[in-house]
Each structure stands twice: as structure tokens, then as C-alpha cells.
Chains A and B, each alone.
Chain A
Amino acid sequence: MANDRESKPGHSRVDEATGTEFVGHEWDGIEELNTPLPRWWLWTFYATVAWSIVYVVLYPAWPLVNSATEGVLGWSSRGDLETRMAEAELQRQPIFERIAATDLGTLPADSELMRQAVAGGAAAFKQHCVQCHGAGAAGYEQYGYPNLNDDDWIWGGTLSEIEYTLIHGIRWDGSDATRMAYMPAFGEIFDKDQVDALANHVLSLSGKAESSAVGAELYAQNCAACHQANGEGDPVQGAPALNDAIWLYGGDIADVRTQIQAPRHGVMPGWQDRLDPVTIKMLAAYVHSRGGGQETPAAAEPGAEPSPEEVAVSAQAGDDGQS
């Protein structure tokens, strides 16, 4: 082929090995060959240029000093996000309405709605509650933030009791109906031996220490009114149970002694002003679903005295994002 061509008259030279024409550029003996592009390739290039012009006109493109050109379509990624969020909101609306219309006590009976409520509660929990109670709702013992996964409830663990706590808070200035309980400080009333005896008696309620006559008497006179004689506590007064394995401020003898001498009192804000009732309901459902929620008494079988285990009945829970 190449030989054919070279025999023809003309002005340009052809590389013998490839049969390709030289462009005419040479650098130190290295020459450039001309391999033409297919013409459609050129048209494709022009098409992309045309497309870019259309794009620049339609969409935000040129950066300016403080903003950018907006494009005649007025599209923006923020606006797109707003539209999509509004769409999602609209989709959730019917579920919110159903939750609002459902009594909290009967919510677990509708397992599908309960699942939705728990999922919504899990999302709200991550936004409003994890700062104190932790991402897994396990609390922080060293700061006195209670664990919400267990079956120990200072103020009661039924759905409606949890909701009340959420609405009004604990020792919170913002609500007149807040849950309020203060334990007196006994540090200046009892001497060191009395405090030791009392602490030992408190621990003996859960079998962790030996009681003494002094300790038992001090307990009966000063503590049993709220914490009950056997130490089971009283959710109505907000008196924690002392006879179980769970301690809000630590279960060592030193921790108990400190708490007797100078009790700490945690504060939880009420959420009635900041969250809508449906979100509070969903939060209650989520906290209840963490594995320790108590059944609403009305739903429990009347007559037979339920054992503590039977009282603490797990509730419905869906996939809460913990997996």
C-alpha cells in the first residue's frame, strides 16, 4: 500500500513503515504522523460544547464573588434537598396522625404502628437524648445519667409514666408538674459510724453486706418511709429501689456512703415546650422498647399478684438501628 502511494505525485511524505502521512513537524529527528480522527468524533465534540452552553444557561454554573449564577431553571441542591425533605415529611404525615390519634396505652396492640413509633422515637432520641443517655441509651453511671435499657425504673417504666417524665422532666424548673423528690443530706446528722452502719444495711438489702442492729434501726427511722422497709423503693415518690443490682450512683460501700451524706440529684429537662406530642409519644415508645419497659397495669391480669419479672414485660420493638 505504502509503496503505491509514494509513487504518486504530491507534496507530503508518507512514513514507509505505517503508510501514514507526516504532519511536517520535526523535533530532533522525531517526526509527527497524521492519524486523522473520525469525523463523527469531531461532531461529538461539538455536541458536548453545545450541551455545555445549554447547561450553563439552565443550571448554576459560574462562580461569582459572593454567590454564583443561578441558571434560568432556578435549580439548587439546597432547594432540591428542601423539596425532598418536604416530600418525606408528607409521607410521614399519615403515620404521625395515626400515632396522635392512638392512646399510648393501646399503641403496643397495633404492632405495625408501634414499630413506626419506635423507629421515629429512635431518630428523635439520637437528636435530643443521646447527649446524656448515650447512643445506646445506656446512660453514664459516673455522671448519674440513668440507663434506659434495664428493668429498673425510678419513676415508673410504663409507657404513660415514661411519657409523663418526658413531658415534665425531673426536678425541672420549667414545669409545675415536674417529677420532684429530694433526699435529705445526712452527712451532718449522722456520725461516721452511723453512716457506715446504715450503708451496710442498705447493701444488705441486696445481699451484698451484713446488716447490724444500729443500721437497721437508722434505716427504719429515716429511710423506710420512702424506700420502703424491704428497700424496694417507690416509683410514685421517685424513691429508687435499694434491693436490686442496679445503682444510679454506684453500688460500692463508698458510693452508698457518699450518697447518704450528700445525695446527688439529677435533673432532666421536660420536653413539652420543645417537642410536639407525637414525637414525645414516639420517644416514650422507643425508650419503652429498649428491653425493660413495663406493661401498663390495666393490661396486666387483675387478681394474681405478678412477680417482679412478670411485671417487667418486654414490649414490642422493631429494628431500632442498633444492629
Chain B
Amino acid sequence: MVNPDTLEKSPDNNSGERDWGAALNQPAQSPEEAPSRLSPKQAPPPLKLYEARKAVHNKRIDGPFRRFKWLVMFVTLAIYYTTPWLRWDRGPFAPDQAVLIDLANRRFYMFDIEIWPHEFYFVAGMLIMAGIGLFLITSAVGRAWCGYACPQTVWTDLFQHIDRLFDGDRNARMRLDKAPWGPAKIARRTSKWTVYLLIAMVTGGAWILYFADAPTLFVDFFTGQADFVAYATVAILTGTTFWLGGFMREQVCIYMCPWPRIQAAMLDEKSLIVTYKDWRGEERGSLKKAQKEPERYGDCIDCNQCVAVCPTGIDIREGQQIGCITCALCIDACDKVMADIGRPRGLIDYATLEQCEAESAGAPATPAWKALLRPRTLIYGGVWGAIGLAMLFALGTRTHTDLTVSPDRNPPYMLMKDGSIRNAYTLRLRNMEARPREMEIALAGLPAGAVMWTDTVARNLAAPAQTVDVPANETKIVRAYVVIPEGTQAHEFQFALTSLDEQGERDVEDTTFAMPGDI
């Protein structure tokens, strides 16, 4: 299908190489001339202190990794754009949006799970899982996040497909780049950038739908009734998507993102990386040359397809580098060429440094998956799974009734006319069900004759227990006054909150009763 000779002579050759140091663009001085470099007579060469971006025009490629990338792209984009529109019935007292971050009311809804602010440890746990998940993924499959799932990668990929749709594949795009500005080029660029902008607006627009009822906000947004912060957020995210996805692209990974640095530090010799097997490829030479001198030349025919398809424009054959997001498109490209010329696949392949060393020493190639199972990944996986299970358990067994008690500290106690001692408490009764509930708040562990009343129950109705109506999905604040008779003593006691429904949920809180001698 592909003629290796044309590949070799293709205009792609060398033109796709990126120079990571601008110095490489400068003509080099030969070592012999070095001693004279500081001579004042010699005019110093102009230094390039700033470097313009070299556009990346990556070539279309098909293969298993490209198909996997398509799949991840469709799944992640579908999740991002459609999730706010999913509905989830929670009854009349709670929103019916499946995933909703309700900042105004301080609730986080995710399908059947509702997180209250005091349960923020679930979110902390999820962040810890995300952190350990990063360790796990990175130690096992290297920078897979960068290569497949990172939003910057996904949107860059999307915009690169838009480029291809409007301007054609690599060579056509390079020609168009070089072409002088004329009506045709202006028309092409304008229409392409309009599509960029539309995608960016949809992206920014979808974001705000996670924070309010999506259909309502959607209508409000287009009728000008939405909050200023909604328009500002959409404007900012549209701008960043347009700029970062449409124009900055791989420069975000190389210059802005701390992730590649962090991940590079977490890789070890047993982590999968995308690597060029130089012991098999070198010395590079065309098919014709190899036919003449088979012993001299390796498998790499220097066709530069790996460079042409790279979305960050690097040459993987230079070894590991910060610009490699391990998207594995070069593997697809190289495998295809190897198949065409009848050499075994995997000249560029996922491999660990350890496997590379063994292989270069003559051992047979090891399947990549064997690198996944080793103590480090298993321990990360175990810890990750244990935290997940613990959170699921906590989530499944949590009650939807909660009580917190804060005793008044000033004054700590109050002497009443009849010599009895009164303490005052602020109780927070949480009803985490989406329906109003009747709850009983009772005293436990106080001497006989101890009674309580509240700000809504008069003192002449004081009793050891009171019933309170707590509205749906709310925290009701109740001020409780507790009195013990003259001559009795009390220190530690409990408030017991019981929901008066078939659930009979209970929460008991320890608190203290302050006496005149205590302070």
C-alpha cells in the first residue's frame, strides 16, 4: 500500500522535527574555533532569546491506539456535555437533576448520593482516591492520563480533527500555512475559527449547567435572565477553550502544565512508556540501502511517519521527553509501516525501561501487560480499592438524621429564682431526607426532675423530651433550655435525637451540664 521509497522522499521528512532548544537553530561553532569565542574583536552572533511556536500538523492515522483514543474522546465528551441534562427523581423537596453542585444551598447531588457540607470527608476521600489513582495509573501505564483522558488532550484532538476537516491532512495544511493571505485563505480560516468558537462556547456553556437546574438556566441564559456570574463563567471558559484548544495546544503540556513533571517523577524502570527500540532500529536506512548492506542497517527506514502523526510534534526516536504525552499514535504509524515492508511490529511500542534493557541484551520481547502486575501497582490498587470500599460502606450505613450540640459558654449556667440550675444549648437537627419529619429530642443521663423546653415550646410545657418538626432537607436550629432541680448535680449527659417515623433513626450526642462550682 505504501511505497517505502515515496515515504522516504516524502516532503514530511525532517520538516516535522521540533527543536526543543532554539540553540539548535543556530549554526554551531566548530570546536577548534572555541578559544577565540570571547575575543572582543569577533562580533557575537545574534542570540535568539524568544522562539515562535512551530505549528504541528499531525497526519491522519488509523490503528488500535487511534481507535481507543476515539473511544475515550467520545465517552469523555459525551459525559461532559450530557450529564447536566440527566434527571433523577428525588421527590418534591429536592432538585431532580442527576448531578448537581448546588453551591447556594451547599449540597452536592450525584444520582442517589447527596453530600451535605458536614460530610465533606466523602469529597476529601474522593480526592485522595484521585491522588492514589494517579499513582496507580502512572506507575502502571505511565502518562496514560496525558495521552488519552486529559481535557487538554481531548479538546486538542477535537480541534485537530476540525483542522483536518477544513484544511485537509498534514501536507495540505502545511501548504495552506505557507500560502499568502488571500480571500480563499481568509474564508477558510474564518470558518474554521468560527467552528472553534462554537465548540468553545458549548464547552463553556455546559460547565455552568452543573451548578444550577440545567433546563431553567439554559432558558434564562438565552433570555438574558441568568446571573452575571453565569455569563462571566461562560465567557472565561469559552475564551480558555478557544485559546488553549485552538492555538496553544501542545504548548500547554510543555510549558504550562505541572502534571508532566510530577508524573515524570513518579515513573520508574517498571512503568510503561512509549519508546523507540533503538537497538532494533539503528542504524536507520532506506529499504534500498538495507538491501545492499543488510548487516549495517536496522529496522527503522527513517520514514518519519512517527513524527508526522505526533500531536505534539516530537520525534519519539530521540527518547523520553516532556513533550511525549504517550498517546501511542506513533506506535500505530510505525506498526503500519512495518506491516507494509514485512518487518515485525513494535519497533516503537509500549515497554518498560527494564524490558528495554533485557530486550536490547537479547531477551525476547515481553508482552506489555506483564509490567502491570507487580508489588507497587498491586499495593496502590489495594489501597485505592480499600478507600473506595470504606467510603461505599460509610455511604451505605450513614443515617439521615444528625444532631450537633453546642452549649452556651457565656453564661455557662444560670441560677433560677427557685434555686434550680439552667443551661442553654443550641441544637442543630439535621433532616437529610427529602421529606419533613417529626423528631423527638430527649434528655438522657440527667437527675430525676430534669426538664427541657425550647424556643418554640413554652416553659410551662417543659418535659424530659420534646417533639420538633424538622422541614425536609434542612437543618433546624433549636435553642434548648435544660433545668435540673435545686440540690441535684449533673455533669456529663446526652441529647438523643430520634426520628419519629418507620426508620427510627437515632443520633446521640454527648455534652456537658455546667454547675456553679465548675467554673
A interface residues (Cβ-Cβ under 8 A, vs B): 1-2, 5-15, 18-24, 26, 33-42, 111, 134-138, 147, 149-152, 206, 241, 244-246, 289, 291-292, 295, 308-310, 312-320, 322-323
Contacts and interface: CB of A to CB of B under 8 A. Distances in A.
6 contacts: A38-B50, A38-B255, A134-B410, A150-B414, A245-B419, A314-B458
Contacts of A134: 410-411
Nearest to A10: B27
B424 interface: yes
Contacts, number: 191
Contacts of B42: 11
Nearest to A315: B455
Contacts of B48: 34, 36
A136 B410 CA distance: 5
B37 interface: yes
B44 A11 contact: yes
Contact of A19 (B24, B408, B411, B479): B24
B23 A34 contact: yes
B28 A14 contact: yes
> Which among B42, B255, B416, B454 has the greatest number of chain A C-beta atoms within 10 A?
B416
A315 B460 CA distance: 11
Given A9-B27, A317-B479, A24 B37 contact: yes
Given A36-B22, A39-B51, A314-B455, A13 B419 contact: no
Nearest to B455: A317
B52 A39 contact: yes
A151 B416 contact: yes
A253 to B, nearest CB: 17
B50 A309 contact: no
Q: Is the interface of A mostly helix, strand, loop or mixed?
A: loop
B481 A36 contact: no
Interface string B82-101: 00000000000000000000
Given A147-B414, A312-B459, A314-B459, A12 B26 contact: yes
A7 B49 contact: no
B483 to A, nearest CB: 10
B408 A322 contact: yes
A21 B50 contact: no
Given A19-B21, A241-B417, A323-B408, A8 B51 contact: no
B436 to A, nearest CB: 17
B177 to A, nearest CB: 16
Contact of B417 (A38, A39, A308): A308
A130 to B, nearest CB: 10
Contact of A244 (B408, B414, B417, B455): B417
Contact of B255 (A19, A24, A26, A41): A41
A38 B51 contact: yes
Nearest to B20: A19
B3 interface: no
Contacts of A10: 26-29, 45
Given A34-B23, A313-B460, A314-B455, 15 more contacts: A5-B27, A12-B26, A13-B29, A14-B26, A20-B21, A21-B23, A136-B408, A147-B411, A152-B417, A245-B416, A245-B418, A309-B418, A316-B456, A318-B479, A319-B477
Nearest to B48: A36
Given A21-B21, A149-B414, A291-B424, A39 B30 contact: no
A34 B47 CA distance: 8
Contacts of A310: 459-460
B422 interface: yes
B411 A309 contact: no
A156 to B, nearest CB: 14
Given A111-B456, A245-B417, A314-B453, A34 B410 contact: no
Nearest to A135: B410
Contact of B248 (A5, A40, A289): A40
B417 A246 contact: yes
B415 A246 contact: yes
Interface in B424-438: 424, 426
A38 B19 CA distance: 12
Nearest to A245: B419
A5 to B, nearest CB: 4
B418 A244 contact: yes
Given A19-B21, A314-B455, A39 B53 contact: yes
A40 B256 CA distance: 12
Given A12-B45, A40-B251, A318 B52 contact: no
Contacts of B417: 150-152, 241, 244-246, 308, 312
B38 interface: yes
B38 A323 contact: no
Contacts of A149: 411, 414, 424
Contacts of A320: 479
Contacts of A150: 414-417, 422
Nearest to B479: A317
Contacts of A319: 426, 477, 479
A38 B460 contact: no
B320 interface: no
